[in-house]
Amino acid sequence: MFSYSFVKDALICGIAVSISAALIGIILVLKKYSMIGHGLGEVAFASISLAVAFGISPLYVSVPLVITASFIIMLISQKKGDEGDIAIALVSSGALAFGVIITAITKGFNIDVYNYMFGSILAITKQDVLLSVILSICIIAVYIIFYNRIFMVTYDEKYAKSKGINTTFYQFLISLITALIVIVGMKIMGTLLISSLIVFPALISKKLTKSFKGMVIMSGFISIICFIIGLIISFILNLPTGASIVSIYIILLFISNISIKFIRY
């Protein structure tokens, strides 16, 4: 399967996006912002429906809309606390409904919209590979340079503020990175499943290790392994790539839960 160029492109792009999503997912899960990824996925679908309806490149529409939505959702989450989840659910369901309506009154669910909804490795271009690699390098660099500050902002925001750290800046930096991951990764996973790349590695690594550094390393490793296995299974069985990867995550999460209970017993 790796003799095909589109599979190689999908492998490079997927690994880069998986690492990026896993790293940012740790912060979102620990700060209870995990719903943001799902909400942005729905906004991405609405933006793609709008772009297809008017014959515009999806990137030109999804980049500004998804980034703007990420800032709004982060702002709501910061101000409303637990009520922020309700606001995120309203934004995501509203965006999904808008996208469905736009699609229904124009061309319907054509192959372009379908690929963006559920993902397709055939739709990945060299530009997607380049963008994903650049994004992954930037996120890894941010983690290395600002590791201590990210750690403090994630675990104890009040303490970080007392140390003079601009927590608001890092919160919106996190939302920006999340939006970019959703935009770059939606061709592989689809807008409806992209949040799984963000949430599952963090959830699994959180169960298996207690340290922040351990979560960072394990989450990245888990995301790579699950993506590769899911890609291979989807190619062999001719299944959607995104759904195959999510299935592997669910199986691994189940195994980790069982193993932890067995060890405790």
User: What is the pLDDT at residue 111?
Assistant: 62
pTM exceeds 0.85 for this model: no
> According to the model, what pLDDT value does residue 94 have?
83
Tokens of 235: 């190619």
pLDDT tens, position by position, 75-85 = 777 766 555 56
Closest listed residue to residue 129, CA positions, set 185, 77, 90: 185
3-state secondary structure of 31: coil
Q: Which helix (H) or strand (E) holds 125?
A: none
Stronger pLDDT, 77 or 102, i.e. the higher one: 102
Expressed as residue numbers, the domain containing 163 is 5-264
CATH number for position 132:
1.10.3470.10
pLDDT band at 93 (very low <50, low <70, confident <90, very high): confident
Which long-range contacts does 245-254 make (Cβ < 8 Å, 24+ apart)? 245/189, 245/193, 245/196, 245/197, 246/189, 246/193, 246/196, 246/200, 249/196, 249/200, 249/201, 249/204, 250/200, 252/200, 252/204, 252/222, 252/226, 253/200, 253/203, 253/204, 253/207
Q: Which residues contact 220 (CB under 8 A, 6 or more apart)?
A: 19, 22, 23, 201
Separation of alpha carbons 65 and 202, rounded Å: 26
The pLDDT of residue 192 is above 80: no
Total count of domains within the chain: 1
Rg of the chain's alpha carbons, rounded to an integer?
18
Q: What CA–CA distance (Å, rounded) separates 157 from 31? A: 10
pLDDT digits (tens, 9 = 90+) for 119-144: 777 777 788 788 888 888 888 888 88
Using the predicted structure, report yes or no on whether residue 110 has a pLDDT greater than 70.
no
Check residues 107 and 47 and name the one with the higher pLDDT.
47
Q: Tell me the pLDDT of the chain averaged across its residues.
A: 81
Q: How many helices (H) and strands (E) does the chain have?
A: 12, 0
